[in-house]
Amino acid sequence: MAKEFDVCVIGSGPGGYVAAIRASQLGLKTAIVEKRDLGGVCLNIGCIPTKALLKSAQVAEYFQHAGDYGFDAGEVKPDFPKIIKRSRNAATKMSKGVQFLMKTNKIEVIRGKGVFDSKNELKIVDDKDKETGRIKAKHFIVATGARARELPNLKFDGKTIIDYERAMKLEKQPKRMLIVGAGAIGIEFAYFYHAIGTEVTVVEMQKNILPVEDAEVSKELEKLYRKKGMNILTESTVENVSKKGQKLEVTVKTKKGEEKIETDVVLSAVGVVGNVEGLGLEDIGVKVEKGAIQVDRKTYKTSVDGIYAIGDVAGAPWLAHKASHEALRCIERIAGEDPKPIDYQNIPGCTYCQPQVASVGMTEDQAKEAGYKVKVGKFPFQANGKAVGAGQTDGFVKVIFDEKYGEWLGCHMIGADVTDMITEAVVARDLETTGHEIISAVHPHPTLSETVMEAVAEAYGEGVHLGTPPKKK
């Protein structure tokens, strides 16, 4: 006999568990179905454990530059298993936190994989496809997330050709690693492994690393990483990977011709694809295109009444915070409320390497291509007192405004802690704040946040800390 609920959420990542909690808060009888650990990719094999790894990398860099801060630390070597263990402990702690939230909010957790038998009924099966139960619900929310995209010539074997999940659980630190793809995932792992002593090569088919970012930001990060000794090959593709004894020989097609590179392991980080298979979606008429469930971006309804989809499985941008906000909007509409729709042009993107990269809105090139006449302001961290005192002066803040109406079109940052700073631009854009309102808002001194105000002042010819000649009015 099937258990009955008002809402059943399939998947417990940042979209799924948030949806379940909000549903319960609004008085809906709620269940959540999960075949792995609560918290999904983000908490278990994504956002959280990778940030723990990246913190270890940052600490390694602190030791490497201890002399700059007045300390003689001597030789410090990474203990790779301990670094990995710390990362896994962070993931476990967060997953237990979600378990606590499920219990506190009286959400029934059902273990197994959900497969639609009809639009009103879900079959639960174990890892051997044996049915263990059934669920009926008025509303089903699919929040099954995404997984690493696998290229035809780079099939994952878990040992020499790996995905991001395996990269954060390796038993032994590789001496050499070749990373295919220089998006956020690829660059974060490139930074981590390079910082702890692995020889890293990055292969990116686009013109710049972090190709979705503003070109100036991407070029700045590439310059800094080349200076640190990272091998970066842009406008390049991996043509073949072959075994050469205990090592791999990777054939890379570059701008200058073919190059063969020896490595211990290849990490393929060329994006993700939604987990849409095996759920019975097509059988009940849910429309799926290119690995993503098609939804109305205001209600998150699929092509079938009563079935909704949120987060990575519903397509780009593949970000945890986007999934959580879609979860809230979806549930609130199910409950009869009328929440403000998400502005998908105002979702920030963050890359947690060092220096960090954060952005929201249009790049300068995108703004110009859209026909805007722009005002652009930049302020470097080397002119910021807090950054100088901290010894972290790499990078800058760049802002883009529409000259005609003063709309804040975009904000792009590279530097220490900018993933925390980008929120000012997100909130300001949401409130339609003008540049002059940012300039007139008192920013505390000395802080890194002053660079935002300074960049805006530069855009309007009112900067006082760069020696920029005043603009004629």
Q: Between 291 and 443, whose confidence is greater?
A: 443
Say yes or no: 11 and 142 in one domain.
yes
The pLDDT score that the predictor gives to residue 338 is 95
Which pLDDT belongs to residue 208? 97
> In this structure, how many other beta carbons lie within 10 angstroms of the beta carbon of residue 430?
12
Last residue of a domain, one of 306, 322, 344: 344
Please tell me the predicted confidence (pLDDT) of residue 1.
Answer: 79
Q: Is the pLDDT of residue 473 over 60?
A: no
User: Would you give the distance in Å from CA 116 to the centre of its chain?
Assistant: 30
Question: What does the pLDDT look like over 122-158, one tens digit per residue?
Answer: 999 998 999 999 999 999 999 999 999 999 999 999 9
Given this model, what pLDDT does residue 467 score? 73
Task: Say yes or no: 249 and 283 in one domain.
Answer: no
Q: Answer whether residue 152 is part of any domain.
A: no
User: Do the beta carbons of residue 195 and residue 283 sit within 8 Å?
Assistant: no
**63 and 130, same domain (yes or no):** yes
Q: Which of 16-30, 79-93, 366-380, 456-470 has the lowest mean pLDDT?
A: 456-470
Q: Does residue 69 have a pLDDT over 80?
A: yes
Helix (H/G/I), strand (E/B), else coil: 122:
strand
The amino acid sitting at 337 is E
Co-location of 169 and 295 in the same domain: no
pLDDT, tens digit (0-9, with 9 covering 90-100), for 300-323 = 999 999 999 999 999 999 999 999
Q: How far is CA 155 from CA 151, 238, 277, in A?
A: 6, 13, 19
Query: CA dist 330 to 54, 268, 284, 305, 334, Å?
Result: 33, 33, 21, 13, 6
Choice among 325, 412, 443, 445 that is catalytic:
445
Is 277 found in the same domain as 259?
A: no
- Annotated binding residues for NAD(+), written as ranges, equal 181-188, 204, 271
pLDDT the model gives residue 470: 65
Domain-embedded: residue 20: yes
Rounded CA-CA distance 60/136 in Å is 52
- Indicate whether 472 pLDDT > 70: no
Last residue of a domain, one of 316, 344, 372: 344
For 435, half-sphere exposure in the C-beta direction (CA atoms, 13 angstrom radius) is 28
| pLDDT score, position 245 | 84
pTM value is: 0.95
Indicate whether 464 belongs to any domain.
Answer: no
156, part of any domain: no
Q: Does any domain span residue 283? A: yes
Residues 264 and 289 in one domain: no
| Predicted confidence band of residue 331 (pLDDT cuts 50, 70, 90) | very high
What are the φ/ψ torsions at residue 160 (nearest 5 degrees)? -110, -30
The total of structural domains in the chain comes to 3
- pLDDT given for residue 211 in this prediction: 97
3 state SS of 261: strand
Q: Which residues does the annotation place in the binding site?
A: 51, 114, 181-188, 204, 271, 312
Predicted confidence at residue 302, as pLDDT, reads: 98
Q: Residue 73's pLDDT band (boundaries 50, 70, 90)?
A: confident
Confidence of residue 30 (pLDDT cuts 50, 70, 90): very high
Statement to judge: residues 115 and 181 lie in one domain: no
pLDDT band at 74 (very low <50, low <70, confident <90, very high): confident
Task: Say if residue 107 is in the same domain as residue 177.
Answer: no
Asked if 103 and 123 sit in the same domain, the reply is yes
List CB contacts of 110: < 8 A, sequence separation 6 or more.
Answer: 3, 31, 32, 33, 34, 124, 133, 135
445 is catalytic: yes
235, 270, 305: which is the final residue of a domain? Answer: 270
pLDDT of 384: 97
Check pLDDT > 70 for residue 201: yes
Instruction: Report residue 453: phi and psi, to 5°.
Output: -60, -40
Q: Give the mean pLDDT of the chain.
A: 95
Strand 30-34 to strand 3-10: parallel, antiparallel, or no bridges (unpaired)?
A: parallel
Q: Is the pLDDT of residue 342 over 90?
A: yes
* Residues 451-460, mean pLDDT to the nearest whole number: 97
Cα torsion through 31, 33, 34, 38, rounded to 10: -10
Q: Are 278 and 142 within one domain?
A: yes
Q: Is the pLDDT of residue 403 over 70?
A: yes
Alpha carbons 452 and 448: distance in angstroms, whole number: 8
Per DSSP, the residues of 175-207 read SEEEEE--SHHHHHHHHHHHHTT-EEEEE-SSS
Is 154 inside any structural domain? Answer: no
Say which range, 64-73, 303-312, 372-381, has the weakest mean pLDDT: 64-73
Q: In percent, how much of the chain has pLDDT > 90?
A: 93
The Cα–Cα gap between 270 and 151 comes to 8
Task: Tell whether 153 is covered by a domain.
Answer: no
Whether residue 172 sits in one domain with residue 104: no
Measured CA to CA in angstroms, residue 243 lies from 100, 264, 331, 408 at distances of 47, 10, 51, 52
Domain CATH for 305: 3.50.50.60
Separation in Å, CA 235 to CA 54, 203, 267, 280: 27, 8, 18, 40
**Measured between alpha carbons, how far is residue 320 from residues 144, 306, 402 in Å?**
12, 24, 30
Residues comprising the binding site for FAD? 51, 114, 312
Which domain, by its residues, includes 437? Answer: 355-459
Distance CA 88, CA 187 (A): 20
| CATH number of the domain encompassing residue 436 | 3.30.390.30
Please report, for residues 282, 319, 326, the alpha-carbon distance to residue 14 in angstroms, rounded to integers and kept in the order given: 25, 9, 10
Asked whether residue 135 falls in the same domain as residue 179, the answer is: no
Looking at the domain assignment, is residue 349 inside a domain? no
